[in-house]
Amino acid sequence: MYRFIKPIFFLFDPEKIHHFVVGLLKFAHKIPGNKQTLKAVYSYQHASLEKEVFGLKFPNPVGLAAGFDKDAKFYKEIASFGFGFVEIGTLTPKPQDGNPKPRMFRLKTDEALINRMGFNNEGVDAAVERLKDRKPGLIIGGNIGKNKNTPNEEAIHDYVYCFRKLYPYVDYFVVNVSSPNTPDLRQLQEKEPLKILLNTLMAENTGQSSKPILLKIAPDLSNEQLDDIVEIVVETNIAGVIATNTTIDKRDLKSDKTLTQQTGGLSGKPLRARSTDVIRYLHTKSNGNFPIIGVGGIHSPADAVEKLEAGASLVQVYTGFIYEGPGLVKRILKAIALSTR
């Protein structure tokens, strides 16, 4: 069914159609019986899919990546499509509009997206209000960042603020220092500032109810920088890594140059191989000592299995979900269950 609807959706601006579809989804869930119908159609359960990773029990290893539900507005509805977990954000302390529009572009020939959203969100406090009536049963991650106008030397305060606010309401945290769309943000991936940031958050993360903290990294890091990441994860004792964010490498794209030359981060099929290479390198270099969530270019069950075989414990989808439709999650879950038999 989605293959008939997608060409219509793709006639419109990506950001506008996103909000339209989300509104449609929320409306559909208000109709009695629709939630159960969607779950019956799109969910897939099998005992082999259940996984315990960094102390959390996941019903299945396929999650929705950050960026799709920035403000925790529809995590309940999106869960109907079979996801084992949903990551909200990236959230910042203060609301911000993000970068000027248009700021998201479809590269249909490459089955990719370029976005320069710029952490547009309503602020962490607004998201917290929506999470307060969260029902048990769905694992939710909180992806946190800094406001655009916060200088890097003060960024740590933004991360701590978001961490404290979200702490009672999410199951794990993701520290986003790898988006290419906030000026100078990726400088925080450098070894010393990153260690200070993570150690500070770990100092906040005390007591019996401590939450797993993960680091989301860029696919554009060199092997030497990835070696530093492995060292930092071990030294700071954070729970793991999400590999990877979007890339600034736009070589070998086939779409029109008016699209490929847009500034922003590239996601989708062109990112698949590099993302998997980073996962494999981190897993091998660390001897599998910490979990990795694999994300980047997952458009098919084979793509997801590839990342799991490379060393990922869990996977996330975003651009593939847009191009392939909601049935993608179920197809992936069936393939993973079959591969474990």
- Which residues are the active-site residues? 179
CB-side exposure of 332: number of CA atoms within 13 Å? 30
Residues linked to residue 219 through DSSP beta bridges, in sequence order: none
CA 8 to each of CA 4, 14, 68, 321: distance values in angstroms, whole numbers, following the listed order:
8, 12, 20, 16
Structure tokens at 42: 């799109």
In the chain, the DSSP E strands lie at: 51-53, 56-58, 62-64, 85-91, 104-107, 112-115, 139-144, 172-176, 213-217, 240-243, 265-268, 292-295, 314-317
Structure tokens at 74: 């529809």
Residues whose CB is less than 8 angstroms from the CB of residue 122 and which lie 6 or more positions away in sequence, other chains included: 71, 95
42 neighbors 60 (Cβ within 8 angstroms): no
Structure tokens at 307: 């990342």
Inter-axis angle of helices 14-30 and 34-42, to 10 degrees? 120
